[in-house]
Amino acid sequence: MRDTHRVHVVRISEEQPKHIEDEVVVEEPVEVRLNGEVVSVTMRTPGDDFDLAAGLLWTEGLIGSAAEIGTISYCPDEEHPDLRNIVNVTLVDSARKIVPPSRTWTNSSCGLCGKASLDAIRQLCHPISSSITVERDVLYGLPAVLREAQANFDRTGGIHAAGLFDPSGRMLLLREDLGRHNAVDKVLGGALRSGVIELGKTVMMVSGRLGFEIAQKALVAGVPIVASVSAPSSLAVELAEDFGMTAVGFLRGRSMNIYSHPERIV
């Protein structure tokens, strides 16, 4: 399963046009099923699909823990037998009724206001009580560590990353995808499946902006500190403030903006 694809391009610069080969990120759909029922179809970069499925089901409230997962497997596609674009997750309790996600949390076109989205989350999530602290010098170093670990970004320049770090700045897990939210689902799903990462003692660093969907997913997982190299949204800041999450934006060089719960940054 390839996550990049070579293409022929004409490069235009101050010199004469050149015919060269370039690498672009592969974009393909994946269908996620739960006990055989379709719950989501999304565009993603192939790779770490089982982590993506587990993370998506978890952050959308369809499962509450790794213990609920029985098996995760690819399903054959009769029309495209060479593709592995259907993932089925079977629960231990295979007879449990599946309630499809409403998508009110992360779908910006759903027509609901921010208050309705926050109210929906309050029904399923608890405030984060983690007391971890992280030195600001550690945070300053995370973007470089994340960037250096992005093998696919070096080759394509067009892929996002999400990484989990311990309070000392040690990288615990990294996942890449062309979609910011997919990268987060992959890294949280990978942590969930591993069973060895204490998410309540981690920092999550993302390569794109800190939108509501990213903050919501981190909240479900209980991640106390979420940092981004770019800007947060107003709803992400409100969510972080209300639920005890430290939201950091514009983490570049030796500066950052702390939008909520700054007591964790020392």
Burial class (CB in 10 A: 0-12, 13-18, 19+), 236: buried
The confidence score (pLDDT) of residue 76 equals 79
What mean pLDDT do residues 168-193 have? 96
Phi, psi (deg, nearest 5) at residue 162 = -135, 130
* Residue 19 vs residue 62, higher pLDDT: 62
The confidence score (pLDDT) of residue 19 equals 74
Number of Cβ within 10 Å of residue 149's Cβ equals 13
- Taken in order 24, 143, 247, 233, is the CA torsion positive or negative? negative
Q: Which domains does the chain have, with CATH numbers?
A: 28-110 (3.10.20.10), 136-264 (3.40.140.10)
Check if 113 is active-site: no
The confidence score (pLDDT) of residue 93 equals 85
* Residue 5 vs residue 33, higher pLDDT: 33
What mean pLDDT do residues 243-250 have? 97
Q: Is the pLDDT of residue 16 over 60?
A: yes
DSSP annotation of 64: S
Q: Which residues of 175-211 are buried (b: 16+ CB within 10 A; e: fewer)?
A: bbbbbbbbbbbbbbbbbbbeeebebebbbbbbbbbbb
pLDDT, one tens digit per residue, over 93-137 is: 876 766 655 444 444 334 445 556 667 777 778 899 999 999 999
The confidence score (pLDDT) of residue 64 equals 92
Q: Is the pLDDT of residue 186 over 60?
A: yes
**Structure confidence at residue 176 as a pLDDT band (50, 70, 90):** very high
Q: Is the pLDDT of residue 88 over 90?
A: yes
DSSP string of 68-111?
GEEEEEE---SS-TT---EEEEEESSTTSPP-----TTT-TTS-
Average pLDDT score over the chain: 86
> pTM value?
0.86
Q: Is the pLDDT of residue 261 over 80?
A: yes
- Non-local (6+) Cβ contacts of 173 within 8 A are 163, 164, 187, 190, 191, 194, 197
What mean pLDDT do residues 185-208 have? 96
What mean pLDDT do residues 217-237 have? 96
The confidence score (pLDDT) of residue 20 equals 67
**Structure confidence at residue 241 as a pLDDT band (50, 70, 90):** very high
Q: Find out whether 26 and 45 touch, Cβ atoms under 8 Å.
A: yes
